[in-house]
Structure 1
Amino acid sequence: MDELVVGTYEGFLLGYSIFSEPTESKLKQTFATQSHTSSVRCVSLSEKFLASGGTDDKVVVIDLKTRKEHTVLMNHDGTINTVAFTNSGTHLLTGSDDGNIIVTRTGNWQIEKIWKKAHGGQPVTAIAIHPSDKLALSIGGDKTLRTWNLIKGRPAFTINLSSKGISMPTEIRFSPGGDRFSLIYQQCVDVWTISKAGVEKHITCNSKPTSVQWITDDKLYVGLDNGNIIALNVSDSQALTYQAHKQRVKCLHYENEVLYSASSAGELKVWSENDSKLSEICSTNAGCRLTCVTLNRQNHLIKKEDNSDNGEHSEEAEDINNSEQSDDEPAEKVSIAHKRQPGAFVRVSYGSDNENNSEAPPKKKIKKRKRNKKPKNKVN
């Protein structure tokens, strides 16, 4: 059972899961929190942490085990437009209207890198992290596409999108394999190929595209402003159109042959994919204007249906949860140790870069030198 997490204009974060009933499946709310004082603009999830950014200049991190606020990051001075955990979960990248991209280490939540004026001082609107965690792409108000080297912690190169006739890009997203990525602007979706360093396919839609979700390295779904969802292959010119929502498709998410869609009117829908065709499983209305979506795939972090009427069952469930929590702790440590291999800011040194705000290592070295000097003085 997966859990859909959505952000809203009203500042709420809402969770929904699919529960099967004798006659049909239904989306039921699993949690609701209002950690933001204004609109939630973006969400990202990694292991037990859920990060959300909003127009209140805050990045809120929620611990999905306790379903409580874990920490609040106040490192930006402007609306948070994009948050993205690295695929290994070791770092969180955030972009804001203040023009900065900030890299924060997960766990101690210390800043490891700040790319000031990442897009010439213009707002950073979207960040996409490559599946390898070795590089990231960003787009911003300066109409450029910038590549960031996540191993060396520095900018790699810049592409002027204006020179290619691209203006006002709104979303960028990698394919599962990482060789392709999609770029949304105006009424177009461009598919770029990294190996060819250019546009492989140009797609013009009959309505403004709002969100792209890759299914494979060749297939993708595109949500449109008119409420439709189109399915297409990069290698094919044909496209299937589904009348999904009555109003704008705000965001999409795909996982395990299931597509999740959310409309600006608050409607959530779950679709199964059979023989490359979408069939609606269930839907609900959140009663809020939805802005962003992600998926919690960890069953032990998802609240089960309330069975408080049966006391014995509740106690049994509590014992199981406690045993799962104790079993998870060593497994979590093993998982983190396994994921911290070369790549994505692991053992990266930024030298004398003033933008690096992580000062813990130098303090430790100074203390060690002081302890070493005292014995020498005594001997002499």
Structure 2
Amino acid sequence: MDELVVGTYEGFLLGYSVYSENTDKKLKQTFATQSHTAAVRCVSAVGKYMASGGTDDKVVVIDLKTRKEHTVLMNHDGTINAVAFTHSGTHLLTGSDDGSIIVTRTGNWQIEKKWKKAHGGQPVIALAVHPSDKLALSIGGDKTLRTWNLIKGRPAFTINLASKGVTMPTEIMFSPGGDRFSLVSQQTVDVWTISKAGVEKRITCNSKPTSVQWISDEILIVGLENGNIVALTLSDTQAQTYAAHRQRVKSLYFENNTLYTVSSSGELKVWLVAGSKLNEICSTNAGCRVTCLTLNRQNHLVKKEEHIDEEGTVENGESDDANSVESDEDVEKESPPLKRKPGAFVTISYNSDDGKEECTPPVMKKSKKRKRNKKQK
């Protein structure tokens, strides 16, 4: 089963897996690391990498095969509020209180784009990457919704959220199909439709909404400040409420008919989802104040004989080359590197932008360069 990974206010990243004991399901801790010196604010995972951002201004990249620190990016001058990998795993987008959005290429961890004043110099609150990887959305302290063209590497358009009746936006999330996205604000969850370029439905909650997960293009789950979670279908007016936690729901994550929920008290729960019906499978308490949540889908790549040492670090986590995220074929496809103009950073197209912004390399650990055969004269 997939591995649940949570970030905490105390700076820890904790991993948990579901296991069977007799006829019951239980959560057990699989690893623990404290790469941050302050609270973890956000976390994202794709393939073999997981990135977390915190109030220590750092983006820490973890290798999920070994559960060890891979590199640290120190490119922002403020709290990291959002980290989001592209779905193809080629790039990492980060947003910060310093007002910038930075796009970093995975692997060599070089900056390929930086919007220094993405929201007019105001903090970047949240980011979401479209399933196609062609565009991204961001919300900021200037109360605007901005669209970023990930093919051309430049901003596309801006919407003033105040004109739409949206106050204090906190989270943005695409639906699985990508035509809809949810926008969480002070007391409402707005469902927007890209094809219609506007709000399709406004959901008013009896408690402040904190997080949203799409079960399908029609069904979504909303976590609330009072600890409840609400399951609703867009075509219906009725919503089903579950008393999930005693304290605020901090984050939700849905994958493979399974919903993971965490609360500010440190409680973690796993739910089986059937349509809009939820059935609790198991729960545990992290003993820390949980702030964010993601899923390690590559848990099967870690050898079963690995063990957790006294510090909570999983050792001997070598992977099977046959199941490796980066196969030999993938490496061959990447080499030789594509020639592209500055500003274009998504591998869909590189010849449609004439961006002139220069990028400086990030401060991080040095990576080994591949040896190239010298050309014969």
User: Are residues 1:278 and 2:278 paired?
Assistant: yes
- For 1:281, the aligned partner's letter is I
CA distance in 1, matches of 2:307, 2:102: 43
CA distances 1:232-275 after superposition (whole Å, capped 9, x unpaired): 01111110000000000000001111110000000000001235
Deviation at 1:306, TM superposition (A): 6.9
**1:318-349 Cα deviation digits (max 9, x unpaired):** 8xx86x52323596243577799999622536
Say if 1:91 and 1:139 are closer, same or farther in 2 by CA, change over 3 A.
Answer: same
1:225 maps to what in 2?
Answer: 225
The answer as to 2:356 corresponding to 1:356 is no
* Higher CA-based Rg: 1
Q: CA deviation at 1:301?
A: 3.4
Q: Distance in 2 between matches of 1:189 and 1:337?
A: 45
Contact 1:95 1:124 in 2 (8 A): yes
> Contact 2:99 / 2:122 at 8 angstroms: preserved in 1?
yes
Structure 1 residues 45-60: aligned runs within 5 Å: 45-60=45-60
- Taking a change above 3 Å as real, the CA distance of residues 77 and 255 of structure 1, as seen in their structure-2 partners, is same
Relative to structure 1, the CA distance from residue 351 to residue 187 in structure 2 (aligned partners, 3 Å threshold; closer, same or farther) is same
Say whether the 8 Å CA contact 2:301–2:324 is kept in structure 1: no
Partner AA of 2:346 in structure 1: F
Q: In the alignment, which of 304, 320, 324 is matched to residue 325 of structure 1?
A: 320
CA distance in 2, matches of 1:237, 1:223: 18
Amino acid at match of 1:348: Y
TM-score, scaled to structure 2: 0.87
CA 1:279/1:130 → structure 2, altered by over 3 Å: closer, same or farther? same
1:169: which partner in 2? 169
8 Å contact from structure 1 (residues 153, 348) kept in 2:
no
The answer on whether the counterparts of 2:48 and 2:325 sit within 8 Å (CA) in structure 1 is: no
TM-score by length of 1: 0.86
Residue aligning to 2:101: 101
After superposition, what is the alpha-carbon deviation per residue over 1:75-111, rounded to whole angstroms, capped at 9, x for unaligned?
Answer: 0000000000000000000000000000000000000
Contact kept, 8 Å, 1:85 with 1:93, in 2: the verdict is yes
User: Structure 1: 5+ residue runs without aligned partners?
Assistant: 309-317, 360-370, 376-380
Question: 2:257 corresponds to which letter in structure 1?
Answer: E
Q: Distance in 1 between matches of 2:6 and 2:299?
A: 17
Specify the SS of the correspondent of 2:323: helix
> What RMSD in Å do the two structures reach over aligned CA positions?
2.6
Please say if 1:257 is aligned against 2:257: yes
Q: Which residue of 2 aligns with 1:296?
A: 296
SS at match of 1:327: helix
SS at match of 2:102: strand
Q: Please state if 1:35 is matched with 2:38.
A: no
The alpha carbon displacement at 1:307 in A equals 8.4
For 1:202-237, what per-residue CA distance to the aligned partner results, in whole angstroms no more than 9, with x for missing partners? 000000000000000010000000000000011111
Q: Partners in 2 of 1:153 and 1:124 — Cα distance?
A: 18
Indicate the structure whose relative CO is greater, using CA pairs within 8 Å and at least 6 residues apart: 2
Cα shift at 1:276: 3.2
1:89 aligns with 2:89: yes
Name the residue aligned to 1:215: 215
Identity level (%): 72
Shift of 1:138: 0.2
* One-letter code aligned to 1:230: V
Contact 2:113 2:345 in 1 (8 A): no
- Secondary structure of the residue that 2:173 maps to in structure 1? strand
Q: Gapped runs of 5+ residues in structure 2?
A: 309-315, 363-374
3-state SS of the aligned residue for 1:108?
Answer: coil
Alpha-carbon distance, 1:65 to partner: 1.4
Aligned-pair distance for 1:300? Answer: 2.5
Q: Partners in 2 of 1:214 and 1:72 — Cα distance?
A: 31
Q: Which amino acid is the alignment partner of residue 326 of structure 1?
A: D
Q: 1:126 to 1:105 in 2, by over 3 A?
A: same
What is the alpha-carbon distance in structure 1 between the residues aligned to residue 144 and residue 252 of structure 2?
25
Give the structure with the larger helix fraction: 1
